């Protein structure tokens, strides 16, 4: 039995959950999300608690059991609290600013880079070297953060580039004069 898949999900009182066919809908204070449940996984919603069970023990079904529970938990967490990623920019002359709702990045290239976020994701720049990305869908927030980070990933010699908050970049010494 999947250790993650058998854990129940507690649904807060301010979240409405409906399950029709293979579609799980959750509506909360931050918005509304939908999740398609595989047909091999059975969902029960009773007493503000969602539990998952599987129909058989085939390898594919066992693999999807814990994944489905994690995705459903992310849907409930997203409509309740939302998700947030923080990126930090390091390097001389590297900076970021908001231009209307778009993000303008100066990353040492000959041209500035304009990033247009999806409508359900908000971007804030509290300083010239920090980017806050927030939204209700964990996958979309993480995808946008990864896309921005890939524009100038941190390099190991000087540590310049875009990194996640708290990310450790292993530094190299460079050439030695021996």
Give pLDDT tens digits along the chain (178 positions). Answer: 568 888 999 999 999 999 988 899 999 999 999 999 999 999 999 999 999 999 888 989 988 999 999 999 999 999 999 999 999 999 999 999 999 999 999 999 999 999 999 999 999 999 999 999 999 999 999 999 999 999 999 999 998 999 999 999 999 988 876 5
Rounded Cα distance between 15 and 102, Å, is 31
H/E segment holding residue 139: helix 138-149
Size of the chain in residues: 178
What is the 8-class DSSP label of residue 76? H
């Amino acid at each position: 039995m999947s250790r993650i898949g058998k854990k129940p999900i507690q649904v807060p009182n301010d979240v409405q959950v409906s399950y029709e066919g293979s579609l799980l809908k959750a509506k909360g204070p931050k918005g509304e999300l939908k999740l398609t449940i595989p047909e091999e996984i059975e969902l029960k919603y009773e007493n503000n608690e969602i539990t998952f069970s599987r129909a058989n023990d085939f390898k594919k079904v066992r693999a999807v059991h814990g994944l489905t529970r994690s995705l459903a938990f992310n849907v409930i967490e997203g409509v309740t609290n939302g998700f947030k990623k923080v990126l930090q920019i390091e390097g001389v002359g590297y900076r970021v600013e908001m231009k209307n709702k778009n993000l303008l990045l100066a990353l040492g290239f000959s041209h500035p880079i304009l990033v247009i976020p999806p409508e359900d994701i908000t971007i804030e720049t509290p300083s010239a070297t920090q980017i806050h990305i927030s939204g209700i869908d964990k996958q979309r927030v993480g995808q946008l953060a990864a896309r921005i980070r890939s524009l100038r990933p941190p390099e190991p010699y000087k540590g310049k580039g875009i990194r996640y908050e708290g990310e450790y970049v292993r530094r190299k010494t460079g050439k030695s004069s021996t």
